[in-house]
Amino acid sequence: MSRGVVVTPPTEASPLGAPNRRRRNSSNDVESGGFVISDCVLGSRSRPLFNVSWCDRNCNFNSSWADCRADATVARLRQCLSESTHSDGGEVAMMPLRSMALYGTLFGLLLASHPSTVDAVSNQIRVSGAWEFDELSVIDRVLLRIRHDVRSVATHLLRTLSPSGGGHGGQAPGGEATADAGALLATIGHQDGVELVDIGMNIGSLSFPVWWSGFSVRGFEAMPGNVQLLRMTECVNRNASKPRLVITHCGLTSWHQDGHRCDIVSGVTNVGDGMLRCPPYPLLPGEAIRGQVTLRALDLVIDHNEEERSPPALFRVLSQRFNERQLSQVSNGSSVGDVVPSSSSSSSVASLAAAPVIPWAGLSRESDVHERLTFLHNKHRVVKIDVEGEELNVVRGAPRFLSGPDAPLFILTEVWDTLDSVGYARLMRRHGYRFRAPTVLGPWIWIDTDDEAAQWKAQQKGMVNAIFLRRGAEALLPDGR
């Protein structure tokens, strides 16, 4: 069982920066800046290498906690605590948490969590270092497959467009072009358009491991307390070499509800599991209001600024190479189109023979440079939707997102037995998706009609995780699904 760093934020009687008079709980507690940090020891005898504590990463491995407490660790945690309690506009945007914990994960990062005694996800993180590991594994495998295919196309194009590559009049791709492609991909790193969109982040048990492993993440979370924890996690794990991470505090809904304000409630024994309640509504026994949230349609809050709308850096570099090659061909008296490999030259035939075939992207051996550049211009998104029964409303607010050139390839979604799953599948079919779900007996099946969806729903009990796959992208389906 791993231990964590427990951080108690300041109260009104003990503001940030003022001494906190509360008695320490143990000799390992540290009192600084109005909050208490305790148990800066992570890991266990069974998993000592998987959990890396903040102390070990920021203080000398041989120093004691007494020495560490006066070092940058406490100052950094205090800074992160301050950052996490403010919105981007600088105003306090959320109900202050009474306490939070930093638990080590299987992935070498710290996750800000609710106290494990009152939250299921936090407790599982504390005990095992991960939450819903099977779902995380599925997402990771799909992202890795997409990245592999994207980089295969990019590598081939870089070799083709290199002065020593396989374009018209050049030589067959060789070591120099291959080294150039490898160096450029290493420089660009994770800026290849492969991205996770996490709708219903909770405390980030899926998003942050994905981000930590090198993928961009665009996340949405409605519960104010969870957003505070997400910002704390981002701050304590901040690293300039990591990819882009954007966390938006809003509830996603259908177009006709956009702009409404609703409450977020959760149970007193599972505080991080927020559910949307729009007035008037009854507050059920065991529930408590955790804050308010503005509802937005996904189409209005994603890809809404220039940075998000711009193509990936990988495409921009390849497009520049393509334009330079065109100018070079023209200056040498060749046709501009000659940069596109054709079957009329032996060097081009060699280039085409090496071109990767990506069926799920519609790329065949005959696909030319323009088609491959178009493929790399688009974002390649994987989506997770977990919004406690509001999944259908989310997709009702996302027709552009689901039908545009950057439409997700793979969507992992919760489907509750109280949800109109027949309508959910029908709407997604209109946007070009196939529905795949587990049966009561275990095997996964394709559900392509209303009748098949109705038969499946009649046997469904509780909640299951199901998949929507972009039609034509079935090759991305992981084994076992």
Q: What is the pLDDT of residues 28-76, one digit of tens each?
A: 333 333 333 333 333 332 222 222 344 444 433 334 444 444 445 556 6
Q: Do 243 and 217 form a contact (C-beta atoms < 8 A)?
A: yes
Q: Are strands 216-221 and 194-199 parallel, antiparallel or unpaired?
A: parallel
At 235, the pLDDT band (50, 70, 90 cuts) reads: confident
Q: What is 243-271 written as a DSSP string?
A: --EEEEE-EEE-GGGTT-EEEEEEETTEE
- pLDDT for residue 95 is more than 50: no
Q: Count CA atoms within 13 Å of residue 333 on its CB side.
A: 0
Partners of residue 413 on adjacent β-strands: 385, 466
Q: Do 373 and 137 form a contact (C-beta atoms < 8 A)?
A: no
**Sign for the pseudo-dihedral over CA of 179, 185, 188, 189:** negative
Q: Cis (ω within 30 of 0) for the bond into 356?
A: no
- Amino acid identity, position 365: R
The b-or-e profile of 63-88 (16+ CB within 10 A means b, else e) is eebeebbeeebbeebbebbeebbeee
At 179, the pLDDT band (50, 70, 90 cuts) reads: low
Chain length of the chain: 481
- Amino acid identity, position 88: D
Tokens (6 digits) for 220: 């949405």
Summary mean pLDDT of the chain: 77
Q: How many angstroms from the chain centroid is the CA of residue 404?
A: 20
Q: Do 95 and 89 form a contact (C-beta atoms < 8 A)?
A: no
3-state secondary structure of 28: coil
Q: Which helix (H) or strand (E) holds 451?
A: helix 450-459
At 409, the pLDDT band (50, 70, 90 cuts) reads: very high
pTM score: 0.81
